Amino acid sequence: MKKITVLFLLILPIVSFAQETETETETESKTKTIVKQFLNNLSGSFETNAQWYVNDAVLGDFDDPIPEFELENKHLRANSYLRLDYGFLDNFTIGLQAESYEPLPLLSYFPEYKGTELSNYYINFRNKKLDITAGHFYEQFGSGLLLRSFEERQLGLNNALRGGRIKYMPTNYLNVTALYGNNRIGFEHSEGDVFGLDLNVDLKEVLHIEGLSAFNFGASYVGKNEDFTAPIDEFDPTNIFDTTDFPELINSYAFRFDVDFGKFFVNSEYSLKGKDVLFSSASLGQPKIIEGKYFDGSAMLLTTGYTVKGFGLSGTFRRLENMSFFSDRQLSKPGENPYGMGSINFTPALTKQQDYSLSNIYLYQAQSSLFIQNYGGQAGEIGGQLDMYYSFKKGSSIGGKYGTKLTANMSYWSLLDATFDQANSSYSSELFKFGEKLYRDVNLEVKKKWSKDWSSVFFYQNLAINKNLAIEGSYIPDDEQINSNIIVVETTRKLSNGQSIRLEAQHLSTKEDKKNWAGGTLEYVVNRNLAFYVADIYNYGNDIKDEQIHYYNFGGSYTKGATRVALNYGRQRGGLFCVGGVCRIVPENTGLSLNLTTSF
């Protein structure tokens, strides 16, 4: 907190002085010039997400699921972020990020996010060939199967690396990245060290191939070193054994090829994670290291597609086996790190990211972990998705005067087919054999423009999900999966002077779980700056009448330049909340929320 106060005390007088309008002396004029140059080189952003949680006659009194937070029972909370970047001497940039979670973080965020701290800082030098950073930085090798550090504030994730990174581009066809650091875990950093080397070569340029749009090769190395100087299982004194043989250094590798023929492309990547220890399942009590057994992991990713004017088709296949990868082994304990803290790599769910509230009730989470002593065992996932879009020509019978666009998506995911020997803590898996089904989704979307002021969207989704296994981590038989059909109709009417009205109607039908849902949204855009909405989803088909709940929301937003303010009130449905294929579980709650974002 002191660091932030000092920062504002330094900046505030400068800004105030620059705004004075009194008669200038020559010294004042020079000072203003300096201040103006300083402000021109300064950029940044500020974001705050605040919520006032209230007691609800239907959902019950506000109650935080984290025990220590429940004792404080703070109804008003805010997550805030200030980022500042300053460029100087043409090639240098310094920056920092301060984060505030006052008096406590919002519901379901990492509980160690408390107070106000200087969370990220860096200094960077960059010219045409070199890019050097010291401090905190974000990086991704390939698709992220081995390494990706990133920030996602909506999920409370920030696994930035603190250390050093060098990017070297000696030619226009070669770039090399070397890095070393420790992952952010809340306001602290991991005990384990992460280091890596990434190489990318433009083979099209090297081999002077004219017939290809792109031909690239990449290779990555990621190492993790964690010193075993303390007992592994601090919670169970009986689980103490010799740790001298544990692998402290985990070496992992990845290779990738990307080829683009113009209309047709193929991207491929294979990753191999080094051998590491494995914990027993949380369902067996306090997770323990499986003594004397070490397991490696692997990932395969293949994406291919074909595009021409008005038509596109792409497919993705992925196989993950034991690909959970954390900078501290303690973070890989089953059930003890639901926030994804300290993750080194990135294995999101590869399904379509849905836009509608009812299509976000049954969401799939990637199953990348290995569990040998977890019910029947689980080694990872295998599956893929297929995307297609087609534009009907204007003037055709279906395209009409303004055209019609069709998009379709299909995805299928299952467990790896594997055999488990729980007595000996071992297993074997099949390379391309599909095991028990986890998720299947087929959806179609038609966008139709009827006139220059009137357009509609028609959406249909049919899915089947083994909900407890794919979402909540506990097992139910395959024949008890949830099957649902979702229909959405949306229409938008443009009015005069930049006004518009959007109406959306949704319905979800299923015979399992909480049965049928209905939903709707009405949005009114006053102008390019101001908009209001009201929305509701209603679980009218629930067999338990007291749980037939309206999850209503209403609010509005105002945007001016780079600043946006949104104010909303309503009920939050409990369950998975996902961004970019990464999810966290949120509890049901009711309250007033404020979102403010600005940049300069």
| CA atoms within 13 Å, Cβ hemisphere of 304 | 5
Q: Residue 288 has what pLDDT?
A: 82
CA 159/CA 345 separation, integer angstroms: 10
Q: Residue 543 has what pLDDT?
A: 93
How many C-beta neighbours within 10 Å does residue 396 have? 10
Q: Residue 220 has what pLDDT?
A: 98
Read off the DSSP letter of residue 340: -
Over range 149-162, report the average pLDDT. Answer: 96
Q: State how far Cα 540 lies from the chain centre.
A: 31
Over range 270-284, report the average pLDDT. Answer: 85
Contact of 322 with 380, CB cutoff 8 Å: yes
Beta strands of 425-549 (E only): which ranges? 426-451, 454-465, 482-494, 500-510, 517-525, 530-538
pLDDT single digits (tens) 108-133 = 999 999 999 999 999 999 999 999 99
Give how far Cα 417 sits from Cα of 14, 178, 340, 413, Å.
64, 37, 26, 12
* pTM (two decimals): 0.89
Please report which residue ranges of 190-332 form alpha helices under DSSP H.
Answer: 203-207
CA 413/CA 435 separation, integer angstroms: 9
- ∠ CA(264), CA(266), CA(269), 5° rounding? 170
Give how far Cα 18 sits from Cα of 11, 24, 32, 44, 45, Å.
11, 11, 6, 18, 20
Q: Residue 20 has what pLDDT?
A: 41
Most confident of 222-231, 269-278, 570-579: 269-278
Percentage helix, strand, coil for the chain under 3-state DSSP, each rounded to 5: 10, 55, 35
- The per-type count for the chain, helices as H runs and strands as E runs, is 5, 31
Q: Is the per-residue pLDDT at 208 higher than 60?
A: yes
Read off the DSSP letter of residue 71: H
Query: Binning pLDDT at 50, 70 and 90, where does residue 70 land?
Result: low
Q: State how far Cα 49 lies from the chain centre.
A: 17
Contacts of 361 (CB under 8 A, 6+ apart): 508, 517, 573, 575
Query: Binning pLDDT at 50, 70 and 90, where does residue 228 land?
Result: low
pLDDT single digits (tens) 318-369 = 999 999 999 998 899 888 888 999 999 999 999 999 999 999 999 999 999 9
Structural domain boundaries of the chain?
A: 127-347, 385-589
Contact of 515 with 538, CB cutoff 8 Å: no
Give how far Cα 320 sits from Cα of 145, 257, 297, 316, 464, Å.
9, 18, 8, 13, 21
Query: Binning pLDDT at 50, 70 and 90, where does residue 283 land?
Result: low
Beta strands of 110-242 (E only): which ranges? 115-126, 130-137, 140-141, 147-148, 151-152, 157-158, 161-171, 174-185, 188-189, 193-202, 214-225
Q: Is the per-residue pLDDT at 192 higher than 70?
A: yes
CA 398/CA 448 separation, integer angstroms: 9
Which of the four CATH numbers 3.30.750, 2.40.160, 2.60.40, 3.40.50 does domain 385-589 have?
A: 2.40.160
How many C-beta neighbours within 10 Å does residue 113 have? 20
Contact of 274 with 250, CB cutoff 8 Å: yes
Contact of 445 with 459, CB cutoff 8 Å: yes
Strand, coil or helix: 359: helix
Contacts of 64 (CB under 8 A, 6+ apart): 70, 73, 104, 107
For 308-337, what is the HEC assignment?
A: ECCEEEEEEEEEEECCCCECCHHHHCCCCC
Q: Is the per-residue pLDDT at 452 higher than 50?
A: yes
Contact of 144 with 345, CB cutoff 8 Å: yes
Q: Is the per-residue pLDDT at 384 higher than 80?
A: yes
pLDDT single digits (tens) 3-46 = 444 344 334 333 333 344 444 577 778 788 878 888 889 999 99
Q: Is the per-residue pLDDT at 455 higher than 70?
A: yes
